[in-house]
Amino acid sequence: MTIHKPRLLTGDTPTGRLHLGHWVGSLENRLALQDQYDCYFLLANIHAFTTRAERPADIRQSILDVAMDWLAIGLDPMRSTLFIQSEVPAISELTFLFSMLVSYPRLMRVPTLKDEIRDKGLGDNYSFGFLLYPIGQVADILAFQADIVPVGEDQSPILELTREVARRFNQLYCGVDSQTEDKAYVAQGGLFPIVQTLHGRTRRLVGTGAPNANGVLLKMSKSLDNAIMLSDDPDTVAKKVMSMYTDPKRLKASDPGTVENNPLWIFHETFNPDKAWVAEMKTRYRAGTIGDVACKKQLIEVLVNFIEPIRQRRLVFEKDPAQVWQILRDGSAKARAVSDQTLQLAKQKMQQNFL
Ligand code: ATP
Ligand code: MG
């Protein structure tokens, strides 16, 4: 008897390399769940085009970079399916079909879209495709009939949209009653499970830069040049930490410092395993009996200890990109088969199966 594991799907946009925010927001959970779930990890290259259509070579390079980051942290192609979005056409077809189930005003209320438009300075010049990408993400998830999606906080509204589309599809085309509880949709004949969101221990890690005009620290992001990468060498980590934003009012070590909203302490709390040291030094920082530099030096040590083994494992894959492309080809073939099947079932339910 085959036991079907529940499905997990998540992914990353190939707009650069992976950073510490990805680690605490999603990667840690992916690693922990690789055995319990049938895992699909997607490289969202079509979504990368929504903000950088004029840079195809960069997107191609980033696919390889993110895939190498995945392999270096321990996502395992023997247990999980690693694939490229554009190699899986059913996703695009489902995007089109699902876009009819979301009203335009509903789409424009997705906070993730608004935040990205603001944080990435897109102004009014974003493409039509940019607006379509939340529905593309709905299709990424539903194409695999996923049960769970580990993501950072910024993605929560898109997961809510995914649940809405799945409920609506199941009600409209599979005859599921609208009063049905989320967990009972499939048992009642629905095609799509109502997906669960899984957040990491830090839902939104801040970047190394100063706050925005509203005093809010921006999230660490590949596109905002405020990230410490999982592939940064020790010198780069040291430079980024030494120049990171801390308490701007503190001019010398004897000034009392503020710990709240201070990336230096957010990073220590997130990554420093020595909780007693962090607690004691926070008290001293507030009292003005320890300087920024000493605390930053300690943070460099903590981060280098964490990142260096990942970077070393990555070097092995960097020497053999052909192997990485082969893993993605194999994964994409499997993802294509699974999602084609979902698409056929969706078309049947929609009475649009003709051949
Ligand atoms: P981009 O700037 O191109 O949007 P990104 O850094 O936001 O890149 P994504 O590929 O959009 O990265 O996100 C991949 C996953 O990592 C998502 O689940 C997202 O929620 C999570 N994630 C990204 N940045 C952070 C962060 N700073 N804290 C927690 N989770 C994060
Ligand atoms: Mg993002």
Q: Please give the pLDDT value at position 197.
A: 97
**Residue 206 · residue 238 · CB < 8 Å:** no
- Given pLDDT bands bounded at 50, 70 and 90, which one contains residue 120? confident
pLDDT of residue 119: 82
Model pLDDT for residues 237-268, shown as the tens digit of each residue:
999 999 999 999 988 889 999 999 999 999 99
* Structure confidence at residue 224 (pLDDT): 84
Query: How far does residue 54's CA lie from ligand 2's centre (Å)?
Result: 18
Residue 15: strand, helix, or coil: coil
Does the C-beta of 219 come closer than 6 Å to ligand 1?
Answer: yes
Sign of the alpha-carbon torsion through 305, 306, 307, 313: positive
221 alpha carbon – ligand 2 mean position (Å): 7
pTM given for the model: 0.95
Residue 27 Cα: closest atom of ligand 1: 16
- The span from the CA of 301 to the CA of 28, in Å, is 21
Residue 207 CA: nearest ligand 1 atom is 27
Query: Strands (DSSP E) along the chain, which ranges?
Result: 7-12, 38-43, 81-84, 148-150, 196-198
Positive or negative, the Cα torsion across 118, 122, 128, 133? negative
Question: 222-314 — its CATH code?
Answer: 1.10.240.10
Give the pLDDT mean for 273-279: 97
Give percent of the chain with pLDDT exceeding 70: 99
Domain limits, CATH 1.10.240.10, in the chain: 222-314
Confidence of residue 4 (pLDDT cuts 50, 70, 90): confident
Identity of the amino acid at 235: D
Stretch 49-61: mean pLDDT:
96
135 pLDDT higher than 70:
yes
Q: What pLDDT, on a 0 to 100 scale, did the predictor assign at position 336? A: 98
To test the ligand 1 pocket, which listed residue (22, 47, 122) has its Cβ within 8 A of the most ligand atoms? 22
What is the pLDDT confidence band of residue 98, given thresholds at 50, 70 and 90? very high
In sequence order, what are the beta bridge partners of 281? none
Burial of 226 (0-12, 13-18, 19+ CB in 10 A): buried
CB distance 263 to ligand 1 below 6 Å: no
Q: What's the gap in Å between 349 CA and the centre of ligand 1?
A: 34
Q: Could you give phi then psi for residue 206, rounded to 5 degrees? A: -80, 165
Task: Indicate if the pLDDT at residue 218 is higher than 90.
Answer: yes
Looking at the chain, which residues constitute the CATH 3.40.50.620 domain(s)? Answer: 7-200+321-349
First-to-last alpha carbon distance for the chain, in angstroms, is 32
Average pLDDT over residues 92-113: 95
**Where residue 143 falls among pLDDT bands split at 50, 70, 90?**
very high
83 beta partners = 42
Cβ neighbours around 212 below 10 Å, total: 11
Candidate from 33, 118, 154 with most ligand 1 atoms within 8 A of CB, to mutate? 154
Does the pLDDT at position 122 exceed 60?
A: yes
Ligand 1 atom nearest residue 15's Cα: 3
CATH class of the region 7-200+321-349:
alpha beta
pLDDT tens track for 151-175:
999 999 999 999 999 999 999 999 9
pLDDT at 1 over 80: no
Alpha-carbon torsion (260, 245, 240, 21), positive or negative: positive
Structure-token pair, residue 69: 């980051």
What local confidence, expressed as pLDDT, does residue 291 receive?
A: 93
- Asked whether 137 lines ligand 1 (CB < 6 A), one says no
Per the CB < 8 A criterion, the answer to whether 187 and 167 are in contact is no
- Residue 15 in contact with ligand 1 by CB distance below 6 A: yes
Asked whether 45 and 96 are in contact (CB, 8 A), the reply is no
151 touches ligand 1 (CB under 6 Å) = yes
- How sure is the predictor about 204, in pLDDT bands with cuts at 50, 70 and 90? very high
> What share of residues in the chain are helix, strand, coil (percent, to 5)?
55, 5, 35
Q: Which ligand is nearest to the CA of 10?
A: 1
Q: Is 295 in the pocket of ligand 1 (CB under 6 A)?
A: no
Is the pLDDT confidence value at 2 over 70?
Answer: no
CA distance 34 to 80: 7
In the reported structure, the alpha carbon of residue 113 is separated from the centroid of ligand 2 by a whole-number distance in angstroms of: 10
The angle, 0 to 180 degrees and rounded to 10, between the axes of the packed helices 292-318 and 56-73 is 100
pLDDT of residue 235: 98
pLDDT tens digits along 327-342: 999 999 999 999 999 9
Mean pLDDT of 64-81: 98
**Cα 127 to averaged position of ligand 2 atoms, centre (Å):** 16
> Using CA atoms in the order 220, 226, 232, 237, what is the torsion angle rounded to 10 degrees?
-110
Mean per-residue pLDDT for 72-87? 98
Q: Per-residue pLDDT for 3 more than 70?
A: no
Of the candidates 291, 329, 278, 273, the one whose C-alpha atom is nearest the C-alpha of residue 67 is 329
